[in-house]
């Protein structure tokens, strides 16, 4: 079969300038054996190690290595390549490459594609072990992981420089296994054609013109979910409380402030929604009245009368012919018990039990979840929120297709998610 004819996942393989680049033609061969279409993009450094002709021979595609190539830009430009890819895999990824990506640089074709793509990015680093351990490299790795990039390796062992330590690129077969073991990432269209409404962040309930009741939600988890759902092919509407985050590219954000505004805004959008994910930390209570002027500190004591806010999630779950509903339950104790109570009490399809503690919950970079539904439970171990969001979206897509039938959207991935 010609490499251009088949329907396998489209992998854009970036090769950067490390000695491990000699293994990358073998990686191309193995990816193609598994049914992938592979487009190689090389950096200037990579060409010092392996000839583009080698990659052209194994991939049956012209290698791209120059952002200033006017002929190639006229045919399949960097934006087109960025859109073409189901996955961007960079192997080897040098320290320089990680630094460029972490800082959003676009000084060559590969880094420009990485900025312009909405496809998941996987990185197989390769460098000297002292470089790998350098705080700058580790900080870049952490930042990239927070944004959803997945690191494959490096392995520990003897290095080209003669020293021992972490920094060896994984073997091609290990990289291929990792790429194909997460089909949710490759079948990144698991929510194609669906509309997903997601709530995120806190709400603010005004007391007077300068004070409000709120909570510690940063919006990071909800925004990560919006990004992951968008990457999975969905149209995403993000109804967001006040947070200091930029909406992910391609996501429609509706900014709200109070629980009542969130309720109204969600109900305006919900008619077209196939899925609803309530990740917001909505204020359960709001001040009964809002003072028109700033309250003065004259009284020795004062009390604030609060009334219950409308429950957006429960109201969406109660709709006739409503969307598939997923809630979150952030708890400090008896997490699973409370979450199960909310699963049935609010009548939702799935509930993500979210322990609040060190490195998980409100305003943390990482999180962990136990996802519950009637007759099922899956643990999603601690990970950066971007990564966890991808796993949760894969699981939601799987449950959605199982419950609503295969004609409701893109095919199931059948991925066991844990
Ligand atoms: O924003 P981050 O800093 O990243 O933190 C993420 C998070 C911890 C806020 C998030 O992962 C999370 O757990 N969100 C739910 C917070 C919560 O405490 O929810 P709850 O137990 O009060 O409510 C249960 C569910 O009902 C939630 O889906 C909530 O969105 C929804 N709800 C609650 C009250 C209300 N009036 N309307 C609602 O829709």
Query: What residues have CB less than 8 Å from 261, skipping those under 6 apart?
Result: 203
Of all atoms in ligand 1, which is nearest to the CA of residue 326? 28
Q: Is the pLDDT of residue 3 over 60?
A: no
Give the residue, out of 282, 323, 337, with the most ligand 1 atoms within 8 A of its beta carbon, to mutate for a pocket test: 282
Domain 195-408 has CATH 3.40.50.10300: yes
Confidence check: pLDDT of 188 > 60 = no
Atom nearest to 328 CA in ligand 1: 28
Which pLDDT does position 1 carry in this prediction?
35
Ligand 1 centroid from CA 327, angstroms: 7
pLDDT of 140 reads: 96
Average pLDDT score over residue span 108-131 = 94
How does pLDDT run across 210-225, given as a tens digit for each residue?
999 999 999 999 999 9
User: At 408, is the pLDDT very low, low, confident or very high (cuts 50, 70, 90)?
Assistant: low
Res 220: pLDDT: 96
Handedness of CA 117, 118, 124, 127 (dihedral sign): positive
- Ligand 1 centroid, distance to 329 Cα (angstroms): 6
Q: Establish whether domains 10-181 and 195-408 are of one fold.
A: yes
Closest-CA residue, ligand 1 atom 31, reads 313
Position 296 pLDDT exceeds 50: yes
4-8, 25-29, 291-295: which has the minimum mean pLDDT? 4-8
For 146, list phi and psi in degrees, rounded to 5. Answer: -60, -30
Residue 183 has what pLDDT? Answer: 53
Report how far ligand 1's centroid is from the alpha carbon of 144 (Å): 26
Q: Minimum mean pLDDT among 94-108, 139-153, 254-268, 348-362: which range? A: 139-153
Which atom of ligand 1 is least distant from the CA of 221?
4
| Residues ≥6 apart with Cβ < 8 Å to 58 | 25, 28, 29, 32
- 418 CA to centre of ligand 1 in angstroms: 22
Catalytic residue among 97, 114, 161, 279: 161
* Pocket-testing residue among 222, 256, 328, 387, ligand 1, by greatest number of atoms within 8 A of Cβ: 328
Pocket-testing residue among 244, 259, 280, ligand 1, by greatest number of atoms within 8 A of Cβ: 280
Q: Say if residue 204's pLDDT is above 70.
A: yes
Active site annotation includes 279: no
Task: Report the sign of the C-alpha dihedral through residues 31, 36, 37, 41, in that order.
Answer: negative
Q: What pairing do the DSSP bridges indicate for beta strands 285-287 and 205-208?
A: unpaired
What atom of ligand 1 comes closest to residue 309's alpha carbon? 36
Q: Tell me the C-alpha distance between 28 and 388, whole Å.
A: 28
Closest to 361 in 3D by CA, of 217, 251, 245, 254: 217
Domain layout of the chain by residue ranges: 10-181, 195-408
* Residue of 148 and 23 predicted with greater confidence: 23
pLDDT class of 415 with cuts at 50, 70, 90: very low
CA distances from 9 to 31, 80, 124, 398 (A): 10, 16, 19, 19
Quote the CA–CA distance of 328 and 317 in Å, as a whole number. 13
Atom of ligand 1 nearest to the CA of 200: 1
Q: Residue whose CA is closest, atom 20 of ligand 1?
A: 329
What percent of the chain clears pLDDT 70, i.e. is strictly above it?
Answer: 93
Summarised one tens digit per residue, pLDDT across range 27-76 is: 999 999 988 999 999 999 999 999 999 999 999 999 999 888 877 766 66
Residue whose Cα lies nearest atom 37 of ligand 1: it is 311
CATH among 3.30.70.240, 3.30.365.10, 3.40.50.1950, 3.40.50.970 for 10-181: 3.40.50.1950
CA dist 334 and 56 (Å) reads 57
- 328 CA distance to ligand 1 middle (Å): 5
Average pLDDT, the chain: 91
Interval 10-21: pLDDT, tens: 999 999 999 999
Alpha helices (H) in 214-275, listed in sequence order: 220-231, 259-269
Residue 367 CA to ligand 1 center (angstroms) comes to 14
Q: pLDDT-based confidence at 8, cuts 50/70/90? A: confident
What number is the average pLDDT over the span 354-373? 95
Looking at residue 410, what is its pLDDT? 52
DSSP state of 309: P
For the beta carbon of residue 35, count every other beta carbon within 10 angstroms: 12
pLDDT at 7: 59
Residues touching ligand 1 (Cβ under 6 Å) are 199, 201, 217-222, 259, 278-282, 284, 309, 311-313, 327-330, 342, 354, 361-363
Please give the Cα distance from 7 to 403 (Å, whole number): 27
């Amino acid at each position: 079969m010609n490499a251009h004819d088949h329907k396998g996942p489209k992998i854009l393989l970036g090769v950067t300038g490390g000695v491990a680049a000699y293994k990358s033609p073998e990686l191309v061969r193995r990816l193609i054996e598994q049914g992938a279409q592979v487009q190689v993009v090389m950096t200037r450094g990579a060409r010092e190690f392996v000839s583009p002709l080698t990659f052209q021979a194994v991939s049956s595609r012209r290698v791209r290595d120059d952002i200033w190539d006017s002929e190639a830009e006229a045919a399949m430009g960097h934006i087109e390549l960025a859109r073409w890819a189901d996955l961007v895999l960079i192997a080897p990824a040098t320290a320089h490459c990680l630094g460029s990506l972490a800082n959003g640089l676009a000084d060559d074709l590969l880094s420009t594609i990485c900025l312009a793509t909405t496809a998941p990015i996987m990185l197989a680093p390769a460098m000297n072990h002292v470089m790998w351990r350098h705080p700058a490299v580790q900080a870049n790795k952490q930042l990239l992981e927070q944004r959803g990039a997945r690191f494959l390796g490096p392995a520990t062992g003897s290095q080209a420089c003669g020293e021992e330590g972490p920094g060896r690129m994984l073997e091609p077969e290990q990289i291929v296994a990792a790429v194909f073991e997460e089909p949710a990432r490759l079948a990144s269209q698991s929510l194609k054609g669906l509309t997903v409404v997601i709530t995120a962040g806190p709400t603010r309930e005004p007391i007077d013109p300068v004070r409000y009741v709120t909570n510690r939600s940063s919006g990071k988890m909800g925004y990560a979910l919006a990004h992951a759902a968008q990457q999975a092919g969905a149209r995403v509407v993000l109804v967001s409380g006040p947070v200091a985050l930029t909406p992910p590219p391609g996501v429609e954000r509706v900014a709200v402030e109070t629980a009542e505004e969130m309720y109204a805004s969600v109900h305006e959008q919900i008619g077209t929604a196939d899925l609803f994910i309530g990740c917001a930390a909505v204020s359960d209570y709001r001040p009964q009245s809002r003072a028109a002027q700033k309250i003065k500190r004259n009284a020795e004591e004062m009390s604030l009368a609060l009334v219950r806010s409308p429950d957006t999630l429960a109201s969406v779950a109660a709709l006739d012919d409503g969307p598939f509903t997923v809630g979150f339950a952030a708890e400090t104790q008896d997490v699973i018990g409370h979450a199960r109570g909310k699963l049935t009490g609010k009548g939702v399809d799935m509930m993500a039990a979210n322990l609040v503690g060190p490195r998980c919950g409100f305003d943390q970079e990482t999180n962990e979840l136990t996802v519950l539904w009637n007759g099922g439970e899956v643990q999603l171990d601690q990970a950066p929120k971007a990564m966890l969001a991808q796993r949760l979206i894969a699981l939601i897509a799987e449950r959605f297709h199982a419950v609503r039938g295969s004609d409701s959207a893109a095919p199931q991935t059948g991925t066991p998610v844990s």
